[in-house]
């Protein structure tokens, strides 16, 4: 049954994807998905022309930006030790590709081809990877089978098995059992996930490593250049940094902040910085008679004690948290809270709204004492008042947040250690190979 399920998928996949293609005319996302892959192989061949000398080739696949960020510390660690390492990065999503297409650590960044046996074999013949590291999920059977047939070692990193996911459905369990066992090693984010891989899917090669995102936020927190100028402005000030905020967050945040007698300096970082949203937010601040200045227009007249700093460009929120004494994270009054690890690494209290249950790290940070849940502007006012008035409480909660992150680092060393061993085996063979 195991082999039969994968063979059946491989057999029907070309017809399946061919049948879907005509519908791209009526669906913009599907149209983009197919359009960006039209000249994929031709473009990839051009990118690979410069790779003339033999090198160990690591292929990293990520569904989108979040999964790639989990791979970044692993890539950085390996390249620091072995500069001759060649890295390829593939993405499924156009958002992931567009955000990281200029990643300097890779010889080629490209879209994963549509998952047919022919495409998969063609890709493997071009890349000739020694090892494939697939991040978290996004399993495409034909590419995994082609990698296995080509003799490429494969590891699954930052693996999770969400409860009630399709993996556990009786009709699909055998299929995924076959798929998961194609991997030479599986590194999970928790002991619970390891047990599921071992007991439900028979993956004896599963091992708990933790989440590389903790290593990534620590690594990124060392980057001080992006906010060095702003750091001088906010030195020795109590700063409330509100990151990835949406309109519901802004409403209660501004209401609570205005009520404070001892107001911290406020830095507002909206989740969306498009012109329309920025105009709306500027009107909101003006209506509330709040003086502000956009970061893009900041000059010597800016007074952090009297004015709100409005961040109007993306790309450095993680670094901005360095300026904060208290962090408010948006999204908790919408679908789900945004990244709570980025502020926690700096040892500051983290506040967010009631919708956080889809974020395991937010739940755990709360239990660790590094975060507080906000339910309305009244509760936010109370929490902000306590944290601004009581420095010891702020330090205690901030220390708990920092400890939460630091205690969960280490996944990078474990995963990169596995790849390093494979690299050294490859290197030994290369040195033993007769010179032409």
Catalytic residue status for 342: no
Neighbours of 146 (CB within 10 A): 23
Tell me how many domains the chain contains.
2
- The answer on 414 and 402 residing in a single domain is no
Residue 236 belongs to a domain: yes
Whole-structure pTM value: 0.84
Integer Cα distance of 222 and 430 in angstroms: 36
Tell me: do 247 and 263 sit in the same domain: yes
What is the SS3 assignment for 1? coil
Is the dihedral angle over the CA atoms 156, 162, 168, 171 positive or is it negative?
negative
> Residue 98 falls within a domain, yes or no?
yes
Number of C-beta neighbours around residue 236 at 10 A: 4
Same domain, 199 and 68: yes
d(CA 103, CA 42): 20
DSSP state of 307: S
- Do 329 and 352 belong to one domain? yes
Name residue, tokens 């567009």.
98
Q: Where are the beta strands (DSSP E) in 258-405?
A: 265-270, 292-294, 308-310, 326-329, 350-352, 371-373
User: Is 53 among the domain residues?
Assistant: yes
Asked whether residue 229 is domain-assigned, the answer is yes
pLDDT of residue 236: 92
Task: Summarize the chain as % helix, strand, coil (round to 5).
Answer: 50, 15, 35
Output the six-digit token pair for 353.
């709204």
Same domain (yes/no): 191, 330: no
Based on the domain organization, do 152 and 294 belong to the same domain?
no
353-403 residue pLDDT tens: 999 988 889 999 999 999 999 999 999 999 999 999 999 999 999 999 999
- CB-based contacts of 353: which residues, under 8 Å, 6+ apart? 248, 249, 330, 331, 332, 333, 334, 337, 373, 374, 375
7 assigned to some structural domain = yes
- Does residue 24 surpass a pLDDT of 90? no
Helices (H) and strands (E) in the chain, counts: 19, 14
Determine which helix (DSSP H) or strand (DSSP E) holds 413, and give its type and residue range: helix 411-432
Q: What is the arithmetic mean of pLDDT over 72-79?
A: 96
DSSP string, 109-167: EEEPPPS-HHHHHHHHHHH--SEEEEESS---HHHHHHHHHTT-EEEEEEE---TT-GG
| Span of 60-64, 236-240, 301-305, 430-434 with lowest mean pLDDT | 430-434
Same domain, 61 and 160: yes
Query: Residue 164 pLDDT > 90, yes or no?
Result: no
Shared domain for 199 and 256, answered yes or no, is no
Residues 192 and 275 in one domain: no
Q: What CA–CA distance (Å, rounded) separates 264 from 196?
A: 46
Q: Is residue 217 situated within a structural domain?
A: no
Instruction: Please tell me whether residues 137 and 204 are part of one structural domain.
Output: yes
Q: What CA–CA distance (Å, rounded) separates 161 from 145?
A: 21
What pLDDT was estimated at residue 1? 46
Same domain, yes or no: 107 and 136: yes
In a domain, 40, yes or no: yes
Residue indicated by tokens 């409860």: 163
Least Cα distance to 278 among 268, 267, 290 occurs for: 268
Say yes or no: 192 and 236 in one domain. Answer: no
Instruction: Provide the token pair at 23.
Output: 């519908």
* Between 6 and 145, residue with greater pLDDT: 145
List the CATH number of the domain containing 106.
Answer: 3.40.50.11720
Tell me the β-bridge partners of 370: none
- The CATH number linked to 286 is 3.40.50.2000
Q: What are phi and psi of 301, to 5 degrees?
A: -80, -10
Token pair, residue 231, equals 């750091």
* Long-range contacts formed by 124-130: CB under 8 A, 24+ apart: 124/149, 124/150, 124/152, 125/150, 126/41, 126/44, 126/45, 126/48, 127/48, 127/57, 127/59, 127/88, 128/57, 129/57, 129/58, 129/59, 129/88, 130/56, 130/57, 130/58, 130/422, 130/423, 130/426
**The pair of three-digit structure tokens given for residue 390, joined into one six-digit string:** 């009581």
> For 183-229, what is each residue's pLDDT tens digit?
999 999 999 999 999 999 999 999 999 999 999 999 999 988 889 99
| Options 42, 43, 45, 67, the catalytic residue | 67
Give the structural domain span for 122. 2-210+410-432
Side-chain-side CA neighbours of 237 within 13 Å: the count stands at 21
Quick check: is 144 in a domain? yes
């Amino acid at each position: 049954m195991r082999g039969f399920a994968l063979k059946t998928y491989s057999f029907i996949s070309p017809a399946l994807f061919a049948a879907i293609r005509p519908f791209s005319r009526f669906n913009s996302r599907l149209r983009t998905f197919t359009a960006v892959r039209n000249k994929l192989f031709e473009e990839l061949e051009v990118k690979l022309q410069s790779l003339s000398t033999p090198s160990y080739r690591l292929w990293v696949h990520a569904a989108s930006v979040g999964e790639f960020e989990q791979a970044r510390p692993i890539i950085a660690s390996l390249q620091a030790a072995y500069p001759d390492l060649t890295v390829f990065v593939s993405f499924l999503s156009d958002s992931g590709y567009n955000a990281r297409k200029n990643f300097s650590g890779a010889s080629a960044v490209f879209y994963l081809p549509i998952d047919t046996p022919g495409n998969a074999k063609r890709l493997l013949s071009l890349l000739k990877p020694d090892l494939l590291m697939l991040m978290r999920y996004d399993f495409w059977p034909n590419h995994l089978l082609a990698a296995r047939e080509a003799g490429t070692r494969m590891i699954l990193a930052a693996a999770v098995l969400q409860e009630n996911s399709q993996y556990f459905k009786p009709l699909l369990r055998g299929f995924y059992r076959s798929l998961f066992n194609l991997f030479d090693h599986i590194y999970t984010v928790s002991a619970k996930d390891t047990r599921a891989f071992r007991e439900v899917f028979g993956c004896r090669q599963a091992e708990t490593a933790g989440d590389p995102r903790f290593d990534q936020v620590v690594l990124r927190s060392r980057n001080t250049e992006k906010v060095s100028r702003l750091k001088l402005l906010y030195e020795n000030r109590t700063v409330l940094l509100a990151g990835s905020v949406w309109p519901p967050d802004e409403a209660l945040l501004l209401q609570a902040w205005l009520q404070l007698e001892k107001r911290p300096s406020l830095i507002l970082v909206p989740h969306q910085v498009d012109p329309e949203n920025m105009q709306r937010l500027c009107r909101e601040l003006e209506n509330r008679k709040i003086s502000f200045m956009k970061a893009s227009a900041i000059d010597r007249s800016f007074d952090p004690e009297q004015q709100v700093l409005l961040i109007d460009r993306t790309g450095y929120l993680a670094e901005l948290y360095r300026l904060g004494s208290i962090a408010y994270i948006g999204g908790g009054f919408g679908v789900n809270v945004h990244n709570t690890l980025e502020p926690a690494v700096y040892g500051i209290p983290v506040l967010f709204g009631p919708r956080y249950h889809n974020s395991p790290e937010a739940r755990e940070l709360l239990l660790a004492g590094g975060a507080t849940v906000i339910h309305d502007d009244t509760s936010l006012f109370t929490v902000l008042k306590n944290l601004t008035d009581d420095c010891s409480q702020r330090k205690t909660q901030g220390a708990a947040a920092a400890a939460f992150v630091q205690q969960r680092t280490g996944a990078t060393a474990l995963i990169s250690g596995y790849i390093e061993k494979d690299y050294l085996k490859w290197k030994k063979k290369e040195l033993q190979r007769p010179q032409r």
